Amino acid sequence: MTTTPLARPPRRTAHSLSGLDEGAALPARYTLEGSENATLHLRGEDGAARRCTDLMSAYASVNFGHRNPELEPVLAGGSDLAALFYPPQAELLADWLCRRLGLGADGRVLFQVGGSFAVSSALALARRARPGRVLAIRGAFHGLGVDAQAVTTVHRAHALQDTGFADRIADQVTHLEPGTVPEDWDDVSCVLYETVQGANGYVPLDVAWLAELQRAARRAGALTVADEIQGGYYRHGHLSPAVAAGLDPDILLFGKSLTNGLFPLSAVVYRSGLESAATSEVHLAHTFQTATLGFAAGWEVARYLDRSPVESWCRRVGAALEGAARRWSGAGLATAVRLTGPTLSFEPVGPSAAEVVQGAFRRDVLVFAGGDDGRRIRIAPPLTIPETQLATALDAVTAALAEDRPTRPLGDHHGS
């Protein structure tokens, strides 16, 4: 249903909830009352119900749809927490990841809770194996922990946690411009990169350059780390964009849709040789490392991917986004378009990205902004979204882009 456009009210009317969250991108506060696949059931502060199509997949955490009926039953098994002891699904999921990533028996998986923990653990593994600076790529977002912030260059200013602590370790990080290959590797521990930079507006890094960077790192004895927490699990058409591109990182990071949003589990995947740099006294101690729900959900997602035509879904969604991008470009509504499999980003022509986000939401569609200056629109539907729902949602985005301005004809809605 379509509601009357709302005037922007004060940020909060319920004072017990903090206003320091990302809901400020919308004109008012809404409560989530339920969801299925690509549909959100919301209720506004005025009590009115709305149905909204999610074209951001909860920041790539539900690539396979909200409350997927083939994954949801895992919640019925309950959860347990016992320090030191993993459930059987933990080893099954670790074996599956290593096999699917081509590491086989030489692979190891260290599970963590959340993406920032995974980045922190990867940097620790690399720096224990080879002490030195971290080379990070400009345009990347790697998390909100102090070390994850230090290797991040986009959207840091919007983070509550950016209070100067990360600047204290700035001498441990060098930010590379894309396309740059250092000559001096003497004090470099590792190179950290996103194959497709998510927060920066779905920027695919040049694979030939990443391969050259990897070769230079290997010659010097430095390691490479592919952060695929946002970009993995088929967000850009592959389980691992780095592996699909023929790269061979020493460490890979996954999260978000690893459990399709059912539990904030992340995975640090690496070769067994890295463990030799850690002594027997080294261990981790965070409370939820052995929570059973995360592993049960992660293993259920793995089984789901094995039996589902996920590559076909990626092609279907990608084709619909490509068609929309052509129409918008041809009508002068969008520029600087990037299509990375089943995701799309672009700069709107005329309205700001924030205005497009709000215009789409008035039409019951959720998209989100991105890019280093916040000028891009990012679209990343659940791969399981029905074809007709996606077409209707893209029509709503068209209307938001064209609002209050003349455009060239859009042509046939179903054209490619």
pLDDT tens, 98-125?
999 999 999 999 999 999 999 999 999 9
The total of other beta-carbon atoms located within 10 Å of residue 412's CB is 9
Tell me the pLDDT band of 156, cut-offs 50, 70 and 90.
confident
Look up the CATH number of the domain holding residue 206.
3.40.640.10
Q: Is 413 contained in some domain?
A: no
Question: Looking at the 3D structure of the chain, how many domains does it have?
Answer: 2
* Same domain as 283, residue 231: yes
The DSSP 8-state label assigned to residue 166 in this structure reads G
**Structural tokens at position 151:** 């290797």
Contacts of 275 (CB under 8 A, 6+ apart): 108
Domain ends where: 257, 291, 307? 307
CA terminus-to-terminus distance, the chain: 27
* Same domain as 183, residue 313: no
Strand ordering across the sheet containing 30-36 = 30-36, 39-44, 49-54, 365-366
Domain ends where: 274, 307, 340? 307
> Residues, the chain, total?
416
* Same domain as 313, residue 246: no
* Same domain as 189, residue 173: yes
Q: Is 133 contained in some domain?
A: yes
CA pair distance 285, 41, nearest whole angstrom = 38
pLDDT score, position 187 = 96
259 within 8 A of 265, measured Cβ to Cβ? yes
* Same domain as 246, residue 98: yes
Return left, alpha or beta for 146; rule: phi > 0 is left, psi -120 to 50 is alpha, else beta: alpha
What confidence tens digit (pLDDT) does each residue in 264-316 have? 999 999 999 998 887 667 777 678 888 899 999 999 999 999 999 999 999 99
Domain ends where: 307, 337, 353? 307
**Structural tokens at position 303:** 């089984």
* Same domain as 396, residue 318: yes
Phi and psi of 199, rounded to 5°?
A: -65, -25
The DSSP 8-state label assigned to residue 77 in this structure reads G
Q: Using CB atoms within 10 Å of the CB of residue 77, give its burial: 0 to 12 exposed, 13 to 18 middle, 19+ buried.
A: middle
Q: How far is CA 16 from the centre of its chain?
A: 29
pLDDT score, position 84 = 87
* Same domain as 281, residue 143: yes
Q: Is 360 contained in some domain?
A: yes
Q: What is the CA radius of gyration of the chain?
A: 22
* Same domain as 135, residue 221: yes
* Same domain as 277, residue 334: no
pLDDT score, position 407 = 46
294 within 8 A of 87, measured Cβ to Cβ? no
Look up the CATH number of the domain holding residue 380.
3.90.1150.10
385 within 8 A of 394, measured Cβ to Cβ? no
Q: Is 13 contained in some domain?
A: no
**Structural tokens at position 306:** 């094995």
One-letter amino acid at 371 equals G
Q: Is 92 contained in some domain?
A: yes
| 291: enclosing H helix or E strand | none
- 162 versus 50: the higher-pLDDT residue is 50
* Same domain as 315, residue 290: no
Q: Is 14 contained in some domain?
A: no
- 332 versus 280: the higher-pLDDT residue is 332
Residue position matching structure tokens 């490479």: 224
CA pair distance 381, 364, nearest whole angstrom = 14
Structural domain harbouring 38: 22-54+309-402
Greatest alpha-carbon pair distance for the chain in Å reads 68
* Same domain as 182, residue 134: yes
pLDDT score, position 390 = 98
Q: Is 411 contained in some domain?
A: no
* Same domain as 322, residue 180: no
What confidence tens digit (pLDDT) does each residue in 209-264 have? 999 999 999 999 999 999 999 999 999 999 999 999 999 999 999 999 999 999 99
pLDDT score, position 125 = 95
The three-state DSSP-derived secondary structure of 361-410 is HHCCEECEEECCCCCEEEECCCCCCCHHHHHHHHHHHHHHHHCCCCCCCC
160 within 8 A of 20, measured Cβ to Cβ? yes
Q: Is 354 contained in some domain?
A: yes
pLDDT score, position 280 = 66
* Predicted model pTM: 0.92
